[in-house]
Amino acid sequence: MVSLTRSVLFCLVLLGWTAAAAADGIVVEHPWSRASAAATGAIFLSISNSGGADRLIGASSPAAAEVQLHVSEADGDIMRMRRVDGVDIPAHGAVVFQPGGYHLMLIGLKEPLKAGTTVAVTLDFAKAGKIAVTAAVEKPGAPHGGSH
Ligand SMILES: [Cu+2]
C-alpha cells in the first residue's frame, strides 16, 4: 500500500509540473493530441473548476492557423462534429474534452503532428482569462471516438 500511495503521489506531482495550468479556480489537466499527417488535429483535455461558473470561449495555437471549439455527436450511426461558440464550465464542476465529445480542433496546421512532440495551445475563458497549456502528441492509434 505504501508504494502504491507513493506512486500515486508521484504521478500527481508529475501532472502538477507538466500538464496542469490554473487561473481563478479553473484547472486544465492532461492536454493531449494525436499524431496526424493531415492539416487538422484535435486536442483533448480536462477542465475542472473550483470557483463560480465560467465558459470556454475560444483557443489559439502558434502551431495552427485557427483553433475551433468542436463537439462530436452521434447522428444515427455516423459521428459528426460541429463547431460550438463556447463550452460552459459549471461552478464546482468539470468538463472532459475527449474523443467522441468536445475537442479543440486545430485547423491549418503548419506542420504535421508527430508523436513525442508537443503543441502549445492557449485557452480563453470568459472569466478566468487566458490559460496556456502544452499538449503531448501521442501515437496515431490512441483511442479515438469520432471521425474528422
Ligand atoms: Cu473537430
pLDDT score, position 133: 96
| Distance between Cα 9 and ligand 1 center (Å) | 34
| Distance between Cα 120 and ligand 1 center (Å) | 17
The C-alpha cell of 16 is what?
Answer: 502538477
Distance of CA 54 to the CA centre of its chain: 16
- Tell me how far apart the alpha carbons of residues 58 and 130 are, in angstroms, rounded to a whole number: 9
**What is the residue-level pLDDT of the chain in tens, covering all 148 positions?**
455 555 544 444 444 444 577 777 999 999 999 998 889 999 999 999 999 999 999 999 999 999 999 999 988 999 899 999 999 999 999 999 999 999 999 999 999 999 999 999 999 999 999 999 999 999 876 665 444 4
| Distance between Cα 49 and ligand 1 center (Å) | 24
Q: How many CA atoms lie within 13 A of 51 on its CB side?
A: 12
Q: Which domains does the chain have, with CATH numbers?
A: 2-138 (2.60.40.1890)
| Distance between Cα 23 and ligand 1 center (Å) | 26
Residue type, 121: V
Of 34, 57, 23, which is closest to residue 118 (Cα–Cα)? Answer: 34
- Tell me how far apart the alpha carbons of residues 34 and 138 are, in angstroms, rounded to a whole number: 5
| Distance between Cα 45 and ligand 1 center (Å) | 14
Of 19, 21, 11, which is closest to residue 136 (Cα–Cα)? Answer: 19
| Distance between Cα 114 and ligand 1 center (Å) | 18
- Give the environment of ion ligand 1: residues with CB less than 5 A: 70, 81, 105
| Distance between Cα 83 and ligand 1 center (Å) | 7
CA torsion, ordered 85, 19, 80, 56, to nearest 10 deg: -10
Angle at 70 between CA 67 and CA 76, to 5 degrees: 150
pLDDT score, position 12: 46
Q: What does pTM read for this prediction?
A: 0.81
